[in-house]
Each structure stands twice: as C-alpha cells, then as structure tokens.
Structure 1
Amino acid sequence: MENKVFTYLEFALPIHNCVIIPELGGFIVNQEEPLHHIDANVSVPGYMIAFNPDLKHDDGVIVSYYIRDGKMTYNAALQKIKDFVKGLKQELSTQKPVTCGRLGSLYMNKEGKLLFEANPSFVFPSLYGLTAVGLSNLSDINRRESASRKSFPVKYTLGSVAAAVVAMFLFTVPSANVSNNNGLQGAIPQQSGFIYSLAEQVKPLLEVDSVKVVEAKVENKESQTPPQSLRTYYIIVGGEDTQSRADRLLDKIKKSGLQSVNILEAGGRFRIYVASFSDKPEAEGFLDTFRKENPKYETAWLYSKRN
C-alpha cells in the first residue's frame, strides 16, 4: 500500500528516532554501538528499527508534513492519516504483509497482533560511507615510536655537519701569497656558487622540523574548539493544535505539580515540554528518569528540533 505516510516516516525517522503514526503505532530507532573485536577491528555502528503498537497518540511529526506539503489544517491532516490507518488495518487483517517504504513491512499474526519486520538492507543517511576500522596493537605503536626517536639524532647530526661545512667555506680567508689576480678572480665565483648550492641543500634539513611543530600547534588549537549542537531536544508531555487550547493545557499541567513547563510552537503544533537539552544522551537520560518519577506522564517523549 503506497501512501505519503510511509514516505514521511522514512524521512523523519532518522531525524527524530521515534515517530508515531496516530491510531497505528510508534516506530523507534535503537542505536547499536560499534563492536570491538579481539582482532583489533571496530565495526560500523548500526541501527535497529522497532515497532510499538501501544504508542497511538499523535506526536505531531507526520501531521506537520501533511500540513506543510498539503497546505491544510491540523484537523484535516489528522483525518487523512486516520483514514489511511483504517484502510491499512483492513488490508493487514487478510494476513497480507504491507510494505512500509524501504524501512520494512507490517503484518498481522494469527492472534491479531500487529508486528513489524525491518528491512536489513536499509542504510540510515548518517551511516553512508562508513567502514570497519582496524586498530594497531599497543606494542606495534611503541615499536614505531622507538624507531622514530632513534632517527632524530641522525637527522640533527647531518644538519650540524652540513652547517659546519658551509661555515668553513664562508670564513676561509684566501692566501695572501696569490701572485695571479686572474686566478683569484676565477676561483671566487666558482667557490661562491658551490657555497650557495650547498646552503640551498642544507636549508630544507634545518627548516623541516620547525614547520612540523607549527602545524601541530595549529591543529591542537583547532581541536580545542568545542562543537556546537545543531539541534535542541525537548521532553514533550502534551500538545494541542491551537495556542488557546495549549495555554489551558499548560495551566492544567502546572496545577498538577509540574511548574517548569513551557510551550513550543513548531509545524502548526503547540507542544508542552518540561525540559530542553542540546545534548541528546543527556536528554534521553532525563526522559527515562522523568518517566519513572512521574508515572502519570509515562508517555512523555523526545522531540528534536533544528536550531
């Protein structure tokens, strides 16, 4: 069954990590950390897509795409999604699997439970081009560092010898017993050309290490610049389609005991959030703790918004 719902889902899921199709269920992305093998190889991180049929409320993600692309109201967009879900469930009731774009397929078992099978060949945009990395053993690294240290004295010795040779020619005074001025005039240009050639050959040896040190300092300064977050993560506990209804919901939540709540407007939807973070792991940790401490808001979810 082809529909814009799955097209929007495929686009939004890598961004939000959790997208709910109202009256159907929620699609959740679980990140799999890179595996460290005994042979010193690190595999590519992966993602596993899970489906939770108990998440049926509207999180506003799919609806916002309908509103933006179809130029329609929130209620009209939500009704289109509900009509699609109704037809989808009728088709699934015939025990026929339904493809969800490139993400995978939905099917219903004999007990009437809705299940999802992920597409193993689907690659998330953030993983394009990544390959496994091989790491060197610590003993090999120490061996190479030891060899490089031993080579430094040789380099500096060659530079010192070459510099001494140049100095010897520069400060050598011609003999006062020269009787032929023509011979002296012929020797001076030849000697100057040789000294200039030798100095040019020595110059790279004397400059190469200073250049490397400067470059290393520049790289260290650049690496110290902290990265700036491009997204803000909000802990959402409710939402409405108008400002007035959102204000009433905000007052109700405050009276129930949550005082640090605010309204976030995005995509024609007004969401109530209790906290915001620039770091995603920190936001996820807060969400887990908040759900445990506030069972009344166990359906609270994480909303990501580009800055």
Structure 2
Amino acid sequence: MHIETYISDLLYRYDCVTIPEFGAFLTKRVSATLDESNHTFFPPKKVISFNEQLQHNDGLLASYIADAEKIPYEIAVQKISKQVKSIKSFLTEGETLSFSTIGDLALNTDGKIVFEPSYNSNYLTDAFGLSEFEVSHVNREVYKQQVETLEDVIPISITPERREKRSYLKYAAVALIALTVGGFAASTFYINKVETHNQLAQEAANQQLDAKVQEATFIIENPLPSATLTVEKQQGKYHIIAGAYRVEENSDKKIAELQDLGFKARTIGVNKYGLHEVVYSSYENSNEALIALRDIRQTYNKEAWLLVRELE
C-alpha cells in the first residue's frame, strides 16, 4: 500500500492529515510572492509542515483508504499500523524516507523526525493551473538619459512666427479661463437655487407627514409584551456531512431527527449531483471539526465525513 498517495489526495482537501501513531502533515496557505533577485512571480500555495506530536487517529486517513480500496474500516486501520511500523524501522536505520509529492523524512541526532517539504506540487486548489513566471526589468533611467542626450545635440529654437502663434494661444487661454470662471459661477448659483427649492419642498412634505401621523395616532391600553428572538447563524467552512438525499422531504426528516439529538443540523444546499446535503454542524476551526467528527463516528454514524467548503 502506497500510503503517500492517499495522503497526497487528502492534502488537496484538508489542512491536517494524521498518520496514527506517527505524526501529522499540516498545510498553511501563503499568498503570491515576488523574488526580486530574479524578477520571478510565484502563485499562492499551501506550505506543508510535519508535527510529530499529533498522532491520535481522527479516522480521516483510514476512512479514505477504506473507501478507495473497498475494504472495512478496521482492515484499513491495520494496514496503516503495519505501514507505520515499516516506516519507523526504515528511519531508525538512518535512511531518508521520500514521499515524492510531499517531502522527505529523516531522524536527526536527537532521534526526532526532520521534514523537508517538496516543492513539486501545489496543494492549493484555488491556484490550479497557475505557474511561476519571470518578467524583464524596465530600464526607465536609460531612456531618460537618451532623451537628455538628444536635447543636448538638437537644441530647440523658437522663431518669430512661433512667438506670434504662442501670443495668440496665450490670449485664447485667458479667454477660456474667463469663460470657465463665469460658467462655474452661473452653475453654482443654479445649484444653490435647486438645493433651496428641494429643502423647502422637503420641509413641507415633513409637515404634511406629521399631520397625517397625528391624525392616525391611537393608544393601546393593554399592549402585548415585546418579544426578542435570537437566531444563531452557523458559520465556518468545515462541515460534518450526515447524508445527501435526492428528495428534499427526506433531508428535512433527517434534519429534524438530528436536531432532536441535540445537533445544530441543517442543509447546506444541493451538490453537483442534485442531492440535498445535510450536516450535523459546521465549524470555523479545523481541529474542532475533526474532534467532533471522531465523536460522531464513534457514537452515531461511522460513515460521516468532513467537507471543506466556503458557503455563499
């Protein structure tokens, strides 16, 4: 079993992929960057790191392997455990374990795992199809020097005819400025008149509205107490999927059933297959979502899975 293939698939969809009893691969999004030394732009990407402390089985990797290989979940857990023993033995012998699209793992002198990420793959799906590109440097200063050289070689002279034309242009410019100032003054006067008219009309309308309100005012001797309704809106891009239903009524029944159990169940819309997706709940934090997913699988539904998607 090539476990790195399954890990690579999951890194496109999740921020944390744990190998039980070994460690976890984590991803963090970074923005596009510019290498000024060689004028190269790099697209946004996911940076991969490794944390040896995160070894608890959250069920994500085992569930994915079980589904991909069509085997029971327990068998998938056993396969992972066997693979981990082989990996640890390989590292203990001083060898470097290379995951082609993820990175290299090795032990340092203190017996700790050192991870060197690979830059051959970009696990950020939003940047699919984008690649680095290099741009040429713009030599603006060189062009400026060339212009200054031309001015020294070919001086600009003004003949009497050109002076006469420039005098005409000067008078025309003065006339244009005078016309502009006069037009601006007239425009300002007109705008002030319009604003005064609008203000008077607005005051008259407000007086008529006050009179109508006074005529329609009435008193309730025993008014009903006011009620405050608080609606909690679920947020977050981590959704624990309970099921997907072709018939919307079935999804409504499932939501009611889960709400009776205390979950904040709801539907998050229709997927590309035309199925109504029902979630146990949604989370903003990936760690909280994985903890809740593990509890749901152990207690309610071992087929539940985690969907990462921003909702509109």
| TM-score with structure 1 setting the length | 0.44
| TM-score with structure 2 setting the length | 0.44
